[in-house]
Amino acid sequence: MRFLSDESCDFTFVRVLRAAGHDVLAVAESAPGAPDDKVIALAHSQRRILITEDKDFGQLVFAAAASTSGVIYVRYPMRYRSTLGADLLRLVEERGEALTGAFAVVEPGRIRIGRTP
Alpha helices in 20-83 (DSSP H): 27-30, 36-45, 56-58
Q: Which domains does the chain have, with CATH numbers?
A: 2-115 (3.40.50)
How many other C-beta atoms are found inside a 10 Å radius of the C-beta of residue 13?
25
Predicted confidence (pLDDT) per residue in 76-103, tens digit: 999 999 999 999 999 999 999 999 999 9
- Mean residue pLDDT across the chain: 93
**Percentage above 90 pLDDT, the chain:** 82
| pLDDT range class, residue 116, cuts 50, 70, 90 | confident
| pLDDT range class, residue 115, cuts 50, 70, 90 | confident
Q: What CA–CA distance (Å, rounded) separates 76 from 43?
A: 22
Mean pLDDT of the region 32-61: 95
